[in-house]
Amino acid sequence: MKNKLEVSFNSPQCGWMSIGFNDGENEFHTTTAHTPHEKALSEILKGLSNLLDREKASDEFNIAWSRNPEEYKLFFATADENIFFQVVEYPPSEDLISEGEIVFSYHGNLKDFCRSFYETFAQLYEDRDTDEFEFNWRQPFPFEEFAEFESKVKSYGQ
């Protein structure tokens, strides 16, 4: 379906995780490393929770994530009930850091967008023991951040 975002963060293996975004017309897939941005998963969850929290009134954030040697930045910005999301790839050379390329972009409803991320994180959570998440991702699952995000997604708009 066009404009319904599908988010995939697949089970980690040896410190790497396959991630992807698909809106029915455009898609982007890559692998990411658990380092040097060890807090990427928890930062995504915190940032999305803040976007859904009307009291905090946060309307944008970005997350750095690495594939080694390439680096990605995920940009999230809201306006009213809409979200603007971009994945920008930066080349490995420090000299070219300002030459990022937009490799995926999405515009849609904030609640639907966050629900897509929630479904993906819920699947990671559900499979965490079977997939030996902590061993394979080389760090713990972000339980606290996931619980907060789950609460915000389920109560948003009520």
Q: What is the pLDDT of residues 81-126, one digit of tens each?
A: 999 999 999 887 665 556 889 999 999 999 999 999 999 999 999 9
Q: Bigger pLDDT: 33 or 94?
A: 33
- What is the DSSP annotation of 34-96? SSS-TTHHHHHHHHHHHHH-TTT---EEEEEEE-SS-EEEEEEEEETTEEEEEEEEE-S-GGG
pLDDT band at 5, cuts 50/70/90?
A: very high
Model pLDDT, residue 96: 54
How far does the chain reach from its first CA to its final CA, in angstroms? 26
Asked if the model's pLDDT at residue 63 lies above 60, the reply is yes
Q: What is residue 2's predicted lDDT score, i.e. its pLDDT? A: 59
Q: Token pair 């639907």 is at which residue?
A: 112
Asked if 89 contacts 105 with a C-beta cutoff of 8 angstroms, the reply is no
The mean pLDDT value of the chain amounts to 91
* pTM metric for this prediction: 0.92
Q: Which of 16-23's residues contact partners 24+ apart within 8 Å by CB, and which partners?
A: 17/137, 21/85, 21/87, 21/104, 21/106, 23/106, 23/108
pLDDT band at 42 (very low <50, low <70, confident <90, very high): very high
Which domains does the chain show, CATH number per domain?
6-155 (3.30.2450)
* 126-139 confidence digits (pLDDT tens): 999 999 999 999 99
| Average of per-residue pLDDT across 144-149 | 98
**Pairing mode, strands 60-66 and 27-33:** unpaired
Dihedral in degrees, nearest 10, Cα atoms 14, 68, 145, 137: 10
